[in-house]
């Protein structure tokens, strides 16, 4: 199988800041990490490769420093990585981003499966995976919690939803977005880290993937952020319970039941 895993480098959560003028996340000078949901996508790609053979290619769009996240993914068992990086990609919304990623996937060629994390923790839109499927014209399954089986022609997965799960069978090639229940990402080995450090990561520009310039960057992004605001503060109740251990435990259980938590 030729598997492409799309990843994103995101600001470390506690560092995220919004530019008040552009309403966009300020990335310069911020500590960046591999989007945590994407680590599950990488692991699933590697697990499928281990089961069925083939290759896992990491694809990322972002500034040049995003190669760090690609290397992290390679250290987890992926074979190679490609970075889409150019000023022309800057300001892309989820539609323009998924267009660019789809063009890169088409250029890679003969891809059987694309896997994405369910969403990025900065934008929280969960739109890029479905956007890639739309641009490629492939079927997709979102919120995948388990890959049940893969054949040469199809893949059967469990999709998680609030009341249970669906079992879906999709013809290949297809796009999956995965939730964190799907696996436990492995700890990179030293060999993996060393290989990742040495890996050559080609940078593809818009011309390399045949992207039309009016479909990427700000020009290609229909999304307009009108206003941003922090979420309302959570209302918390604090209550100190005193007494013996048994009394405290009894009172704690009573309080939790009172609030329908137990």
Partner 1 sequence: MLHHIQNKVYHVEILPPKQDSEKLEADLELFATKYARVMESGYCACITDNAMGHLAFQGSELIQELDLPVDPEKVMIHLNTFHTKEDLHTILDFCRDKGIRYLLVISGDGSERLPKLQPSDIGAVGVESVTSVELLRYIGRAYPGVFVMGVAFNPYEPEEHEFEKMERKIAAGATFIITQPLIEKNAVVDRLLAKYPEMPVIIEAWMSKKISLLSEAVGYEIPENTEFDPIETLKMLHRLYPTCGVYLSLLGFKTQYHLIADTWT
The site map against partner 1 for 152-191 (x = CB under 8 A) is --------------------------------xx-xxxxx
Residue window 241-260: x/- pattern of binding to partner 1, with contact defined by CB under 8 A: --------------------
Q: Which two tokens stand for residue 88?
A: 């022309």
Q: Does 13 bind partner 1 (CB under 8 A)?
A: no
What DSSP string runs through 133-183?
HHHHT-EEEEEEEEEEEE-SSEEEEEEEETTEEEEEEEESSEEEEE-GGG-
Report, in Å, the least distance between residue 164 CB and partner 1: 26
Q: Binders of partner 1 among 115-134, rule CB under 8 A?
A: none
Spatial contact of 115 and 3, defined as CB atoms under 8 Å apart:
yes
Q: What is the DSSP string of 206-231?
A: HHHHT--GGGSTGGG---------PP
N residues, the chain: 262
Cβ nearer to partner 1, comparing 156 with 193: 193
Cβ-based nearer residue to partner 1, 193 or 215: 193
Give CA–CA dist 142/115, Å, rounded: 10
Q: Which residues contact 257 (CB under 8 A, 6 or more apart)?
A: none
Residues 16-55, one symbol each (x = binds partner 1 by CB under 8 A, - = not), give ----------------------------------------
Q: Single out the segment in contact with partner 1 by CB under 8 A; choices: 80-88, 125-133, 192-200, 254-262.
A: 192-200
217 binds partner 1 (CB under 8 A): no
118 three-class SS: coil
Q: Would you count residue 193 as binding partner 1 (CB under 8 A)?
A: yes
Cβ contact 35:121 at 8 Å: yes
Which residue, 117 or 188, is less far from partner 1 as judged by CB?
188
Residue ranges binding partner 1 (CB under 8 A):
184-185, 187-191, 193-194, 197
């Amino acid at each position: 199988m030729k598997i492409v895993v799309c990843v994103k480098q995101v600001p470390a959560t506690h560092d995220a800041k919004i530019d008040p003028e552009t309403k966009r996340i300020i990335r310069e000078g911020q500590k960046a990490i591999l989007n945590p949901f994407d680590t599950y996508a990488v692991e699933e790609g590697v697990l499928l490769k281990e089961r069925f053979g083939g290759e896992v290619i990491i694809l990322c769009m972002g500034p040049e420093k995003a190669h760090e996240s690609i290397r992290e993914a390679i250290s987890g068992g992926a074979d190679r990585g490609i970075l889409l990086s150019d000023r022309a990609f800057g300001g892309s919304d989820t539609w323009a981003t998924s267009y660019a990623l789809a063009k890169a996937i088409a250029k890679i060629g003969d891809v059987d499966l694309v896997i994405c994390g369910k969403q990025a923790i900065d934008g929280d839109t969960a739109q890029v995976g479905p956007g890639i499927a739309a641009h490629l014209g492939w079927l997709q399954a979102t919120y995948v919690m388990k890959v049940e089986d893969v054949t040469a022609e199809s893949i059967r997965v469990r999709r998680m939803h609030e009341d249970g799960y669906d079992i879906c069978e999709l013809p290949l090639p297809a796009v999956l977005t995965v939730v964190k229940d799907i696996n436990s990402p492995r700890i990179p080995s030293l060999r993996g880290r060393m290989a990742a450090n040495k890996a050559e990561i080609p940078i593809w520009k818009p011309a390399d993937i045949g992207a039309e310039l009016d479909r990427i960057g700000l020009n290609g992004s229909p999304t307009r952020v009108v206003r941003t605001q922090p979420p309302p503060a959570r209302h918390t109740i604090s209550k100190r319970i005193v007494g013996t251990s048994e009394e405290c435990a009894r009172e704690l259980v009573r309080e939790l039941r009172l609030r329908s938590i137990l």
